[in-house]
Amino acid sequence: NAGVMQNPRHLVRRRGQEARLRCSPMKGHSHVYWYRQLPEEGLKFMVYLQKENIIDESGMPKERFSAEFPKEGPSILRIQQVVRGDSAAYFCASSPLTPLGTTLNEQFFGPGTRLTVL
């Protein structure tokens, strides 16, 4: 059973360009979370998605950032008009749906995408 997959592993963008980060959850997992790790800081929650639904985006910056988890295909975190402060490691995690319909389950993390903005 493959783990959470993220690509690309490393992404370099110039200021003003767009960055697209992809995440494929573990097989059988229907919940996806995105976290950001800025240099010398811990990980911070950004957004929680289920298929075709954004459940909680309270950790997302209000501008330039968006996320989706379509019915088919991976989850995408999109950053428009990147700035140097967006340089960070972006981690995706997934968890399964419990029989009771809650999400109080262990989250499994992908290897991360390291974004560098020049």
Partner 1 sequence: GIQVEQSPPDLILQEGANSTLRCNFSDSVNNLQWFHQNPWGQLINLFYIPSGTKQNGRLSATTVATERYSLLYISSSQTTDSGVYFCAVGVYSGAGSYQLTFGKGTKLSVIP
65 near partner 1, rule: CB under 8 A:
no
Q: Rule CB under 8 A: is residue 107 a binding residue for partner 1? A: yes
> Position 118: which residue type?
L
CA of 117: how far to CAs of 47, 74, 93, in Å? 21, 23, 23
* 69 in contact with partner 1 (CB under 8 A): no
Contacts of 117 (CB under 8 A, 6+ apart): 12, 13, 14, 15, 82, 83, 84, 85, 86, 87
Under a CB-based contact definition with an 8 Å cutoff, are residues 4 and 110 in contact? Answer: yes
In the set 66, 96, 109, 116, which binds partner 1 (CB under 8 A)?
109
Using CB under 8 A, count the residues that bind partner 1: 26
Select 17 or 37, whichever has its Cβ closest to partner 1: 37
In the complex, the residues that contact partner 1 under the rule CB under 8 A are 33, 35, 41-45, 48, 55-56, 58-59, 89, 91, 93, 102-109, 111-112, 114
